[in-house]
Structure 1
Amino acid sequence: MRMPLLCIVSAVLCLSAASGFAQGESPPAPAPSAAEAQSAKQPVFNQEQLDQMLAPIALYPDALLAQVLMAATYPGEVAEAVTWSKANPKAQGDDAVKQVAKQPWDPSVQALVAFPQVLVVLGQDPVWVQRLGDAFLAQPDDVMGAVQRLRQQAKAAGNLQSNQYQNVTVQAAPASTASSAPASTIIIQPADPQVVYVPTYNPTTSYGTWAYPASPPVYYPPSPLYYAGTALMAGLAFGTGVAIVNSLWGDCDWGRNDIDIDVNRYNNINVNNRIGNNQNTWQHNAVHRDGVPYRDNRSRQQYGRQLDGASQRAAFRGDDAQRAQARDRARASMDKAGIERPATSNRQARDQVREAQANRPRATDRQPQARSNRDNPQARQTLQNRPNNSAGRARDNAFEGVRSPARTTALADRGRTSQTLAQRPNASRAAGHAISRPSAPMRRGGGGGRR
């Protein structure tokens, strides 16, 4: 009988692999399962959600957009900056940033006080700010891609053009950019590098026909205080410009989808928190997260930090190595002696109780044994010789009042009646005490004795 060709080829391949392993070559690592790979690539936000949350800021100048994305990763401090800006509505530019130099905020959040009109927008929806920061931490490539996609739509709708307030430049996309990204990159810069005009626009109309009618973008109206002399340019409105020199020290790097830092500008405005020349790429600082939880597992693992004293908590709870070894030895001894281990959690305790109740013999199962005890002369003699536990019944009667409140009341009334009777005068006769009576009055006119 001839062996099929497929079996022969399989055998040759197996022998070749075995000889390779015998010569010291390690076998290839097992590939991750499809479920694990899918879980690792599962995005936190889909494209529809990203476009919706980025639409209100996608048309900001690149440097201002970078500042907003960095600061959004610290939503608690952004809320504090919003409060400060409301209390100081006239503070803006580099002077405002210097006023908050002593605030315990991240430098990216401090830089936003230079633009109070931006904080007006961010202060209207703190949940949106947190989602924006979570998306940038978890999916920076997708966030940058969504910004470019929205800019392409605004330009196609005729609402994104160069003017006296901004320069709009279209460049070819970097070769390393993923195939799903737009073929070109749109860059927005201030027309005057030292004066920034923050645009305001309605995202429901600035991008043409919105691609997701069920999830339209939210429009956050600006404050009239900063857009008094508004100039409308192709769907975008520009108010008073903000003079800055060093406040905008970040910029979007569209090739790597991250944020570059101008070290010189950064150090000029953050004199108390300077950085080195090699720190020219932004890194999230979890210290300024202020306890706000991270949305995805990767961010939690990467940025989660141990609080002060966390290493001593286990010892404080008694979870040191010696106690763990002692518990293991006790469990081993219980297993050897056939003793059931104690429950280590409430759920395990409930399961043990349910199991014990399930294994308890039913009344119908106990009846044959009871009949056999009655038929057994020795068992019957044992029952007859069992002492009469009258004391036990007396003890039970002492608690009858708990089961029968009416009987307790009757006994109490009986006791009070007996006490009342004992206090009456004729009760002394029954007790054998001498009774003193008053002498009878003497009759007038003669014999005084009783007949």
Structure 2
Amino acid sequence: MRMPLCVVLTAALCLGTVPGLVLAAEVPATEPPAAADAVAAKDPVFTQAQLDQMLAPIALYPDALLAQVLMAATYPGQVSEAVTWSKANPKASGDDAVRQVAKQPWDPSVQALVAFPQVLATLGQDPAWVQRLGDAFLAQPDDVMAGVQRLRHQAQAAGNLQSNQYQNVTVQAAPAPAASTQVPVASSPPSTIIIQPADPQVVYVPSYNPTTAYGTWAYPASPPAYYPPPPLYYAGSALVAGLAFGTGVAIVSSLWGNCDWGHNDIDIDVNRYNNLNVSNRISNNQNKWRHNTVNREGVPYRDARSRQQYGRQLDGATQRTAFRGDDAQRAQARDKARASMDRAGIERPATNNRQARQQVREAQAGNAGGQRVQPLGDNARAADRRQELRSTQARHGEGQARQLAHNRAAGTAGRARNNAFDGVRAPSRTSAQASRGHVSQAFAQRPNASRAAGHAISRPSAPARRGAGGRR
């Protein structure tokens, strides 16, 4: 008994015995291509050695002050302006200094730094370092926060980080790492070191030499920079465990940020922030810091991922009109301007390259022989306006010609129009005039130059000879 062909094929497919045929379930699914940002994240902008090098001068700051520095560093141009202001006002500090710059167009994180003039004095010594620090925090926040903890553990192991009358140093179990698309440069330490002021309302900014505060430096090829403290704020300071603490800064609301080591970002104390920024208040749900691209003020971002994230680009071709600021109001203004040009007989400017080339050809033809080239399209009014403009120019040209003839007849053609640019378009004429002037000057210096110039020459009268038959 013969079985139908369809039944045989069905059985063969189920058993997988038909050569050359592969079941759909056996075809491996193709993996989707990796996103551009994920590929970019695999290549860190800064290495671990570079991060430790740039973080070393500030890693031992109190957490709240460190958070303010990291936020402000993302606006390097405004930090430079704050440094200049602080130098001009060296005695301004604390909350009062922040209120004095409330009207400055700076980011609130930059305004908060004027409460600590010694910090701005340190940041002002190397603006390039400030910009790299901000770029690192934008591109690799996880790695930056892990680098701070790594350096703090090194300083603690070297005996240079401990609690005292100026600060409290506590060690907590490290929280679970935050979910991130970035690949950390190195794993975080097993515990978290937190630094807080001993008095919440008085902050002592530590000053130290990174080459000694962290013990033996792990990267001899990339030693950390040392920015000496300003003597004005550290004169007579006490040295405690390798750290110098100078004049304390009394604050109430200036430090409104703090490091969130569990998520590797910065928390905002909304109450403190609003107490100081009365004209720029925020709501309770805005307790996480976000970078404001407007306050970047055109400073370019270092990596492609940051440029894509913070570049303020509008997506899609449909947004081009909005990007150019082309709206109904601007269109109405253009229509009014065109109507005014029509009433005044002024030729409209070209709106595309084709019209521009046509207008150039018409102008060249008109200057060459007065020939008229037919304009594009059937806009008769535009053609009439161009013809009227050429007629006006022709009438003005005739008037100028008559005036020039009158000046020449009066002998004042050269003095009638004292133009410093006269002859610029005719180099041969300028050269001829210069040569004629040199020849005239040389000829005037000759003894008989006065005769050639047409002046009267006085000669002594010769005595009359007797008998010469002259008149009497």
Matches within 5 A, 1:119-158: 119-158=120-159
Q: Is the 8 A contact 1:261 1:281 kept in 2?
A: yes
Q: What is the match of residue 264 of structure 2?
A: 257
Give the AA of the match of 1:238: F
Residues 117 and 222 of structure 1 are in contact (CA less than 8 Å); yes or no, is this contact kept in structure 2? yes
Q: Quick one: which amino acid aligns to residue 184 of structure 1?
A: S
For 1:118-144, what per-residue CA distance to the aligned partner results, in whole angstroms no more than 9, with x for missing partners?
Answer: 000000000000000000000000000
- Quote the Cα distance in structure 1 between the aligned partners of 2:19 and 2:216: 58
Which stretches in structure 1 are left out of the alignment for 5+ residues?
1-6, 19-26, 324-451
CA pair 319-116 structure 1, distance change in 2 beyond 3 A:
farther
Per the alignment, residue 204 of structure 1 pairs with 211
- Aligned to 1:260, the other structure's residue is in SS state strand
User: What is the 5 A alignment of 1:271-310?
Assistant: 271-305=278-312, 310=323
In the aligned structure 2, how far is the partner of 1:319 from the partner of 1:30? 47
What does residue 87 of structure 1 align with? Answer: 88
Paired residue secondary structure (2:231): coil
1:205-220 → structure 2 map (5 Å cutoff): 205-220=212-227
Corresponding residue SS for 2:216? coil
Task: Give the counterpart letter for 2:65 in structure 1.
Answer: L
Q: Which residues of 2 match residues 416-435 of structure 1 at below 5 A?
A: none
Q: Summarize the alignment of residues 336-375 of structure 1 with structure 2, pairs less than 5 Å apart.
A: none
Residues 61 and 205 in structure 2, CA contact (< 8 A), matched pair in contact too: yes
- Residue 302 of structure 1 and its aligned partner are, at CA, apart by 1.1
Once the two structures are superposed, residues 18-54 of structure 1 have per-residue CA deviations (whole angstroms, 9 ceiling, x without a partner) of 7xxxxxxxx9563336998554311000100000000
Q: Report deviation, 1:237.
A: 0.3
Q: Tell me, what secondary structure is at the counterpart of 1:121?
A: helix
- The residue that corresponds to 1:311 in the other structure is 324
* Other structure's SS at 1:225 match: helix
Contact 1:134 1:294 in 2 (8 A): yes
Alpha-carbon distance in 1 for matches of 2:126, 2:19:
63
Find the counterpart in structure 1 of residue 24 from structure 2. Answer: 15
Q: Secondary structure at the match of 2:49?
A: helix
Gap change, CA 1:203 and 1:37, over 3 Å in 2: same
Q: Is the 8 A contact 1:85 1:119 kept in 2?
A: yes
Task: Give the whole-Å Cα distance in 2 for the aligned partners of 1:12 and 1:235.
Answer: 76
Check 1:245–1:36 CA distance in 2 against 1; reply closer, same or farther (3 A cut). Answer: closer
TM-aligned CA deviation for residue 13 of structure 1: 6.7
What is the rounded CA distance, in whole Å, between the counterparts of 1:214 and 1:47 in structure 2?
A: 13
Change (3 A) 1:192 1:29: farther
1: distance between equivalents of 2:195 and 2:112? Answer: 19
Q: Larger deviation: 300-309 or 114-123?
A: 300-309
2:119 matched residue in structure 1: 118
SS in 2 for 1:226: helix
Question: 1:222–1:17: structure 2 CA closer, same or farther, 3 Å change rule?
Answer: same
- Partner residue in 2 for 1:368: none
Change (3 A) 1:13 1:48: farther
Instruction: Select between 233-242 and 297-306 the one with higher mean Cα deviation.
Output: 297-306
CA distance in 2, matches of 1:122, 1:284: 20
SS of the equivalent of 1:30 reads coil
What's the secondary structure of 2:131's corresponding residue? helix
Going from structure 1 to structure 2, the CA distance change for 1:39 and 1:102 (only over 3 Å counts) comes to closer
Listed one character per residue, the Cα deviations across residues 77-123 of structure 1 (whole Å, up to 9, x for unaligned) are 00000000000000000000000000000000000000000000000
Is the 1:197–1:240 contact (alpha carbons within 8 Å) kept by the matching residues of 2?
Answer: yes
State the AA in 2 paired with 1:203.
Answer: P
Alignment correspondent of 1:333: none
Structure 1 CA distance for aligned equivalents of residues 84 and 242 of structure 2: 30
Output the amino acid matched with 1:288.
Answer: N
CA contact (8 A) 1:63 1:248 kept: yes
- 2:57 paired with 1:48: no
Q: Alpha-carbon deviations, 1:46-70, whole Å to 9, x = none?
A: 1000000000000000000000000
The sequence identity of aligned pairs, in percent, is 77
Report the equivalent of 2:104. Answer: 103
Distance 1:287 1:15, change over 3 A: closer
Describe the shift of the 1:127–1:319 C-alpha distance in structure 2 as closer, same or farther (beyond 3 A).
farther
Distance 1:73 1:36, change over 3 A: closer
Is the 2:37–2:305 Cα contact (8 Å) retained in structure 1?
no
Q: Does structure 1 retain, via aligned residues, the 8 Å contact 2:45–2:139?
A: yes
Query: Which is higher, the Rg of structure 1 or of structure 2?
Result: 1
CA 1:37/1:261 → structure 2, altered by over 3 Å: closer, same or farther?
A: closer
Letter of the aligned partner of 2:268 in structure 1? I
**Distance (whole Å) between structure 1 residues aligned to residue 89 and residue 196 of structure 2:** 27
Cα distance, 1:299 vs. partner?
A: 1.0
Question: Tell me, what secondary structure is at the counterpart of 2:24?
Answer: helix
**Matches of 1:319 and 1:195, distance apart in 2:** 65
Residue in 1 that maps onto 2:70: 69
One-letter amino acid of the structure 2 residue matched with residue 16 of structure 1:
A
**CA distance in 2 between partners of 1:42 and 1:199 (Å):** 34
Mark the CA change 1:174 to 1:88 in structure 2 (over 3 Å): closer, same or farther: same
Counterpart contact for 1:93–1:113, Cα < 8 Å? yes
Checking the alignment, whether the CA contact within 8 Å between 2:56 and 2:224 is kept in structure 1 is yes
Q: SS of the residue aligned with 2:70? A: helix
Contact 1:252–1:259 at 8 Å: present in 2 too? yes
How far the C-alpha of 1:16 sits from its partner, in A, is 2.3
Is the aligned partner of 1:60 residue 2:67? Answer: no
Q: 1:36 to 1:117 in 2, by over 3 A?
A: closer
Aligned-partner Cα distance in 2 for 1:10–1:107: 72
Of 250, 253, 263, the residue aligned with 1:246 is: 253
How has the CA–CA distance of structure 1 residues 8 and 72 changed in structure 2, closer, same or farther, with 3 Å as cutoff?
Answer: farther
CA RMSD of aligned residues (A): 3.0
Go from structure 1 to structure 2 and tell me whether the alpha carbon gap of 1:13 and 1:265 turns closer, same or farther (over 3 Å shift).
farther
Give CA-to-partner distance per residue, 1:393-446, whole Å, 9 cap, x none: xxxxxxxxxxxxxxxxxxxxxxxxxxxxxxxxxxxxxxxxxxxxxxxxxxxxxx
CA distance in 2, matches of 1:281, 1:164: 31
CA contact (8 A) 1:229 1:240 kept: no
Give the secondary structure class of the aligned counterpart of 1:252.
strand
Measure the CA separation in 1 of the matches of 2:19 and 2:201: 71
